[in-house]
Structure 1
């Protein structure tokens, strides 16, 4: 039939089954899509135990059983009807949806491409009802059937009547992997619900619920046990607890340490009011929080729950409900970024992964038991002396970018990278007094990174703490210290602008031109001056001095895009941070340079009070801990 003849066909109403099969194209992609819809219905029904059975990767059989409220017999004829739901009645309900499902399309769509039956009971009498949709018009057939309180949904022979769709399914193993991932997301979203999963009659997962009668510590432990079962024990060992709340919004869960980042984004779970989402605004905020601590091309891991008023989040923006829209996206973005940035900034491996402050560590006048600083000697097998001339790459007095701060500045002198006679002499005498003290206090006063023993090949500092051996990459560690100080200095003063000799025109769309006019004050604070000369054109008149020589057009275009999309100006901040990171790299102590013990200890103390000191500016780790147990295993001690 040609196009003209096809166009002259009369307009007809689609049959219910065909309409449902078309809708199934949006709702039902594979067995995993079916599982998601069915389990979400169970959760909306108030179930606290959900059992799932699969055969042949969910294609042959997919059974979901819950102990929820069940469905009244008089409502069963509508249970499999399209656009029939008990979850919303008015527009006001839609604007504040608190349930996971609300459109009333899932069961109708699933039943149109499979053999589906629903058995339910609203009490524990054992009496229930069974409903199926049969025939071209999908007329519901309701019959009595025994069933405990709750609902069972049985889906058989998925896509049996749509062979073209069935051809797109993958192998049984692949389909089961997708099913297990959906199960994992749903189980992580609701720790208060028990879950079980069987495949081919074999129990794959058995997850008990976190009950309301457990105290806070027991509940958190039970939640951690569930995450460990689903994501592995290593995830929990390498994660930080997050719990932050402000103005009616709360973020809680676990974020992985930067050293545990993965090559792909396969361990990222974010939930908004219990709903699994993949939101670009959320992803941007998390990526920004990890920006300074991730190695190139790596992805962070996290299980995070965001709790907000349902009235301020719109979940009706995508057929699969994976995306959401926040009423104040910028506030949500900034809150998520701030909470994670603060938590990652305070993390220090070796101190129970808790935020650290300078007050955590012993005062300089206190010696430590068991791990006292080694006595500094001018001669001997374990003496470490400063060479007469330092590397030519050492920082100069003019930039001071590479000078140690705090304790390290004393050991090095006046922050110029060279030890002064007075500073080095005072520190030397201090460590000699510590070593000579015969009344050491408790071992709990040993600093987390301990005291330096010496240097290896001019690259690594070896230190001893209460746990065992600490190995520090001195250049990477000092680079982080310098970089963090430069960032603080930059934030404490206005950004200096450099007028362009020849103003550069930039073509933009109307919305970006409006952003340029509305955010003129913010742009000026960043050293960027723009003039809007038309509905789709602006002129760049100045750029930050730190970005002198950068591509102004590309930078400003990216900046306006971010302001329009996220309400933040992170692109220019990122570029400035890249410049500061380069300065820090070139201004830090270089590999191959010999340090004295006081200098090494000063660097360790600075690391302990510097944010993000676990990674250098490029995301590489700055230090590792080898416990006594680790060393005993290496030398086969105790066997």
Structure 2
């Protein structure tokens, strides 16, 4: 039987480094978090070779004495836990193992000077071996330099990625930490290039927009929400992009808990739930959410890199985020982030006019222009030209027209304007006080039907239901019938009344009033597919939102249907009254506006 032995300190540190230091970005995160905890007002980060060759962090924080520096390089030594109550952690770092772990796998230089000290001190550790311990001149604060990461651990070094990939990871770390603390000035240098410089004491929305995307301020809404918790108050702040302002990947979702950047599945699921009926399934919201709650309500000691947390009451946190996000989005629900695409605008062109013979073509200009013969000839030719125009115009296609309504005096109260016509039996053309509005009739009506179905959830189920003269028997797979049977009561509240009819069939007795005439089989199949796709992880309310979105798609005006001007105007007015009418249930815009300036540019008036 092999003998149990105590591992040497150097090997213990290298094992700990395997948990804390996966790549340069991991080391950078720990060092910058220490700078934030030190009370710094300015943090400067310099990278060389994407952090593979060197990374350096300089701050103007409280600094350390030589004795404190020695303690900081020992494992499990920290100043951030004044007592043993780890449930009350209020700092980013607290484990006390980051610096010794980094120093065991790199050449590590620590320089620091307290504000009240005459000089600073430097300590250098080369892959676990102390090599320098001497005074040094530097301004108050701390400077940490990490070089030759994993140079003496080739098994770890070969798993690192390219310089570009490692730089991208470091860049993301600094961005997230800078976003969490808009009160601190941040700068990032890569080689000789300054990547960004952020001033001190910025507004949160301004800092987020500067880091994520400038257009987020225009295409986002501010979030401010509070709710009592078991230990105090939960507070949600940040900025959320409109559903029409989305991305194909979730990399632009920044989530923070008590100022700590996290990648938590519960929070990601809550964001998905909040946008569930406003985004297509392959699109992702752009946002930055800051959740602050009592330290006792969250456990941050569940992951070595502190990127995951555990909540005391996860259901309450999830519900708070979903409701807070939806309430914030409702303040900008009639806006659309979609503007006319530049490439599409560039395709506008001046078409050549029909070739008509000029009255001056073939004239003999040798005679004086004022002679009677010239006038008589011109008059005769003009009459011939006029007859030609009238004849050719009779052959032009004729369109149906209705009496156009003038813009009302209070046109500003009608942001979607007055309907002027329909294009391709799909798009409504409307004139607003400040431009031209194009509306996708199917996408718009789909949203209107969904909001009607949601509103019906608080009324009388009988009034919402359209009873079928002869109940429909819908045959489905047994598993699909099981899923539908589990939601019968909730679906009945929406006006969809059904019951189990054998192992593999459902009997539909009524449809929601808004879906009268819909195909029962296709509707139930889509609802079952939605429930199967999202599984039991979704809360029932979110599951029903997805079901209602499917039901709304079945009951909306389809593309290809001819609408009268009165119907178009009725649709526009209802859109102006309906929440979230700026986007359909899949996150696409329901309308776009071409400003008068854009129209004038098309005709060269600018």
If the TM-score is normalised by the length of the shorter chain, which range does it land in?
A: 0.7 to 0.9
Give 2:554's aligned residue. Answer: 583
**What is the CA–CA distance in structure 2 between the aligned matches of 1:135 and 1:484, rounded to whole Å?**
62
Give 2:285's aligned residue. Answer: 300
Give 2:564's aligned residue. Answer: 596
Mapping for residues 86-485 of structure 1, pairs under 5 Å: 86-92=79-85, 94-123=86-115, 125-133=117-125, 138=129, 142-210=133-201, 219-220=202-203, 223-247=204-228, 248-348=233-333, 384-385=401-402, 440=409, 445-485=412-452
Give deviations 1:22-54, integer Å, cap 9, x for gaps. Answer: 111111111111111100000011111000111
Give deviations 1:366-395, integer Å, cap 9, x for gaps. Answer: xxxxxxxxxxxxxxx99645xxxxxxxxxx
RMSD value, Cα: 3.7
Give 2:76's aligned residue. Answer: 83
Which SS does the other structure have where 2:256 is aligned? strand
Which SS does the other structure have where 1:132 is aligned? strand
Which SS does the other structure have where 1:109 is aligned? helix
Give 2:39's aligned residue. Answer: 46
Answer whether contact 1:463 1:471 (CA < 8 A) is retained. Answer: yes
**What is the CA–CA distance in structure 2 between the aligned matches of 1:276 and 1:152, rounded to whole Å?**
23
Answer whether contact 1:384 1:596 (CA < 8 A) is retained. Answer: no
**What is the CA–CA distance in structure 1 between the aligned matches of 2:219 and 2:314, rounded to whole Å?**
30
How far has the Cα of 1:101 moved from its partner?
0.6
1:618 maps onto 2:586 in alignment? yes
Aligned pair in 2 of structure 1 residues 16, 633: CA closer, same or farther (>3 Å)?
farther
**What is the CA–CA distance in structure 2 between the aligned matches of 1:10 and 1:97, rounded to whole Å?**
39
Aligned pair in 2 of structure 1 residues 628, 350: CA closer, same or farther (>3 Å)?
farther
Answer whether contact 1:384 1:595 (CA < 8 A) is retained. Answer: no
Range moving further from structure 2, 618-627 or 8-17 = 8-17
1:634 maps onto 2:602 in alignment? yes
Aligned pair in 2 of structure 1 residues 48, 619: CA closer, same or farther (>3 Å)?
same
Aligned pair in 2 of structure 1 residues 140, 307: CA closer, same or farther (>3 Å)?
farther
Give 1:358's aligned residue. Answer: none
Which SS does the other structure have where 2:79 is aligned? coil
Aligned pair in 2 of structure 1 residues 126, 544: CA closer, same or farther (>3 Å)?
farther
**What is the CA–CA distance in structure 1 between the aligned matches of 2:600 and 2:135, rounded to whole Å?**
68
How far has the Cα of 1:103 moved from its partner?
0.5
How far has the Cα of 1:487 moved from its partner?
2.1
**What is the CA–CA distance in structure 1 between the aligned matches of 2:246 and 2:224, rounded to whole Å?**
21
**What is the CA–CA distance in structure 2 between the aligned matches of 1:569 and 1:544, rounded to whole Å?**
21
Answer whether contact 2:108 2:126 (CA < 8 A) is retained. Answer: no
Range moving further from structure 2, 166-175 or 186-195 = 166-175
How far has the Cα of 1:201 moved from its partner?
2.2
Answer whether contact 1:134 1:141 (CA < 8 A) is retained. Answer: no
Aligned pair in 2 of structure 1 residues 575, 606: CA closer, same or farther (>3 Å)?
closer
Give 1:400's aligned residue. Answer: none
Give deviations 1:179-208, integer Å, cap 9, x for gaps. Answer: 111111111111111001111122111111
Which SS does the other structure have where 1:266 is aligned? helix
Which SS does the other structure have where 1:259 is aligned? coil
Which SS does the other structure have where 1:36 is aligned? helix
Aligned pair in 2 of structure 1 residues 463, 323: CA closer, same or farther (>3 Å)?
same
How far has the Cα of 1:560 moved from its partner?
8.7
Aligned pair in 2 of structure 1 residues 473, 335: CA closer, same or farther (>3 Å)?
same
How far has the Cα of 1:544 moved from its partner?
9.9
Larger Rg: 2
1:488 maps onto 2:473 in alignment? no
Unaligned runs of 5+ in 1: 1-7, 211-218, 354-380, 386-427, 507-520, 529-538
Aligned pair in 2 of structure 1 residues 293, 557: CA closer, same or farther (>3 Å)?
closer
Answer whether contact 1:494 1:525 (CA < 8 A) is retained. Answer: no
How far has the Cα of 1:597 moved from its partner?
2.6
How far has the Cα of 1:303 moved from its partner?
1.1
Answer whether contact 1:351 1:448 (CA < 8 A) is retained. Answer: no
Answer whether contact 2:47 2:190 (CA < 8 A) is retained. Answer: yes
**What is the CA–CA distance in structure 2 between the aligned matches of 1:103 and 1:140, rounded to whole Å?**
25
Unaligned runs of 5+ in 2: 339-397, 466-470, 480-485, 494-502, 512-519
Which SS does the other structure have where 1:68 is aligned? coil
TM-score with structure 2 length normalisation? Answer: 0.76
Residue-pair matches, total:
510
How far has the Cα of 1:621 moved from its partner?
1.5
Answer whether contact 2:106 2:127 (CA < 8 A) is retained. Answer: no
How far has the Cα of 1:617 moved from its partner?
2.5
